[in-house]
Amino acid sequence: MKLSKFIKPHSNHMRVALAGLAGLALAGVFSVYQFAGNNLSPVYAAAQLNQWCAGSSNLCLNAWGGGPLVKVYSPGVTNNNFQVVGSGYDQLEFANTNYCIADNNNNPSDAKAALSSICSDNPDVAGWGVNFTSGFCSGGGVWFHNNHWNGYLGPATSSNGSQFYLNKPTPWCFKILPAA
């Protein structure tokens, strides 16, 4: 499943989606399903940029010091603003630079999450570790599976400043908080 389409609330697209689709769950985040070919793909509706925070402790993706490393930080700061982009695979784009989460220094042997300027759905063009697949967690939220590492996006520990990695063995469920 992919989360590569955002719909702004109160837009004509949102009205059509809300009018024509069942399964709307309102819990601070709108989750709906959109028919795409023969698959149902999750669609997240967001008014603007978002903070993606994992676990019950709100371990937010943060472009540490503006990047390149992506580390854990508390909600409510500008360097937490990410959005999901892409039309085939998902990329997590840092809104301040339009760089995407990928392998550190575009090094295929370094699973530290860092920002890369090479964002693309095309694996032949994209930076190492840029492309993700995603899906819904049973308890709420969304997981991101890194296609290069065959692992999940998640933090090393639950403290501020802890590094996010692209090769965690189990899913971390991210929830969306409003942009800082």
Average pLDDT of the chain? 76
Token code pair at residue 44: 């997240």
DSSP three-state, residue 56: coil
Give the tens place of pLDDT for each residue, 126-142: 889 999 999 999 988 99
- Calculate what percentage of the chain has a pLDDT beyond 70: 73
For residue 14, give the amino acid letter.
M
Residues 60, 160 contacting (CB under 8 angstroms): no
Contact 180, 168 (CB under 8 A): no
- Give the mean pLDDT of 27-50: 38
CA atoms of 161 and 69, how far apart (whole Å): 10
pLDDT band at 49 (very low <50, low <70, confident <90, very high): low
Give the chain's domains with CATH numbers: 6-178 (2.80.10.50)
Per the CB < 8 A criterion, the answer to whether 112 and 69 are in contact is yes
Phi, psi at residue 50, to the nearest 5°? -135, 160
Question: What pTM, to 2 d.p., does this model score?
Answer: 0.75
Band of residue 55 on the pLDDT scale cut at 50, 70, 90: confident
Mean of pLDDT values over 114-121: 88
Q: What is the rounded CA–CA span in Å between residue 75 and residue 81?
A: 10
Rounded to a whole number of angstroms, the distance between the first and last alpha carbons of the chain is 27
pLDDT value at residue 114:
97
What pLDDT does 149 receive? 97
Q: Is the pLDDT of residue 24 over 60?
A: no
